[in-house]
């Protein structure tokens, strides 16, 4: 049986776009990333404003705890978490449908299919810690 949260659609969904903002509650914000919580199932989500003008928001489902997020956001200006967030975006954007799919296509055009973590032109900073979303497992302390 497909048991997913009706509010944030976790665990089926790992990515939301600004086009359809889920009703999440912010619990922390630092280094260009906010941590939010689903009021219904408690799933944690990371919000990052993307260019241009930091006006394109994406939320990715955080697979660990609030404590781990608070620890990792302090390291290298949150670069580990930002690399992971970008990897989820790269891996799951094609799963978005309808107006969200159109929104991502618009955003990629808006960034000239260069300056975004999906298209990643040579000028776009390369991942330092997480090339894939699974790489975050190397940095999360288990049972911590």
β-strands 15-17, 56-62 pairing = antiparallel
Is residue 39 within 8 A of residue 24, CB to CB? The reply is: yes
Q: Please, which of residues 25-64 interact with Zn ion by CB under 5 A?
A: 38, 40-41, 43
Which range touches Zn ion (CB under 5 A), out of 4-12, 60-68, 75-83, 99-107?
A: 4-12
According to DSSP, the residues that pair with 42 across neighbouring strands are none
Counting contacts by CB under 5 A, is residue 8 touching Zn ion? Answer: yes
Q: φ, ψ for residue 133 (rounded to 5)?
A: -65, -25
- Check binding of 12 to Zn ion (CB under 5 A): no
Angle subtended at Cα 30 by Cα 29 and Cα 36, rounded to the nearest 5 degrees:
30
Closest contact distance (angstroms) between CB of 135 and Zn ion is 25
Cα–Cα distance, 11 to 106 (Å, whole number): 26
> Quick one: 39 or 52, whose CB is closer to Zn ion?
39
Least Cβ distance, residue 38 to Zn ion (angstroms): 3
Shortest distance in whole angstroms from residue 39 CB to Zn ion: 8
Write out the residues near Zn ion by the rule CB under 5 A.
Answer: 5, 7-8, 10, 38, 40-41, 43
């Amino acid at each position: 049986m497909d048991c997913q949260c009706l509010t944030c659609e976790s665990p089926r969904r790992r990515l939301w776009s600004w086009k359809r903002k889920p009703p999440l509650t912010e619990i922390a914000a630092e280094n260009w990333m906010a941590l939010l919580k689903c009021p219904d199932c408690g799933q944690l989500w990371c919000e990052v404003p993307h260019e241009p003008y930091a006006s394109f928001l994406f939320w990715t489902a955080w697979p660990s705890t609030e404590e781990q997020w608070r620890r990792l956001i302090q390291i290298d200006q949150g670069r580990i978490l930002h690399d992971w967030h970008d990897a989820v975006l790269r891996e799951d954007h094609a799963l978005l449908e309808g107006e969200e799919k159109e929104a991502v296509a618009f955003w990629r055009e808006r960034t000239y299919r260069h300056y975004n973590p999906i298209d990643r032109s040579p000028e776009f900073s390369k991942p330092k810690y997480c090339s894939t979303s699974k790489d975050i497992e190397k940095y999360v302390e288990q049972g911590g």
